[in-house]
């Protein structure tokens, strides 16, 4: 897991489990949470065409994408 802090939000690498029939795997994701007042994080799935067989591989992909992240809008949307 990796973390990046912006003015009002923090962004953290994450994974989202996915089940496609009998196949299970993970999507890479970035979770965004307000620095003040916290609340539940908002998950943004990344690389939608890719399902990773393990959580570690999905998190590594999310970390690579997190490195490219330039910011987060006031609505918790990602800025690339």
pLDDT in tens, 22-49: 778 999 999 999 999 878 999 999 998 8
Q: What is the pTM of this model?
A: 0.89
Q: For residue 53, what pLDDT is reported?
A: 94
Instruction: Domain ranges for the chain, please list them.
Output: 3-79
pLDDT class of 76 with cuts at 50, 70, 90:
very high
Smallest Cα–Cα separation from 5: which of 79, 77, 71?
71
Q: Round to whole Å and give the CA distance between 77 and 2.
A: 18
For residues 6-21, average pLDDT: 92
């Amino acid at each position: 897991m990796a973390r990046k802090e912006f003015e009002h939000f923090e962004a953290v690498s994450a994974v989202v489990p996915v089940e496609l029939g009998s196949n299970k795997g993970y999507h890479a994701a970035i979770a965004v949470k307000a620095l003040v007042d916290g609340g539940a994080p908002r998950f943004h799935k990344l690389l939608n065409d890719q399902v990773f067989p393990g959580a570690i591989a999905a998190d590594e992909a999310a970390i690579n994408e997190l490195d490219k992240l330039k910011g987060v809008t006031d609505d918790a949307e990602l800025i690339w």
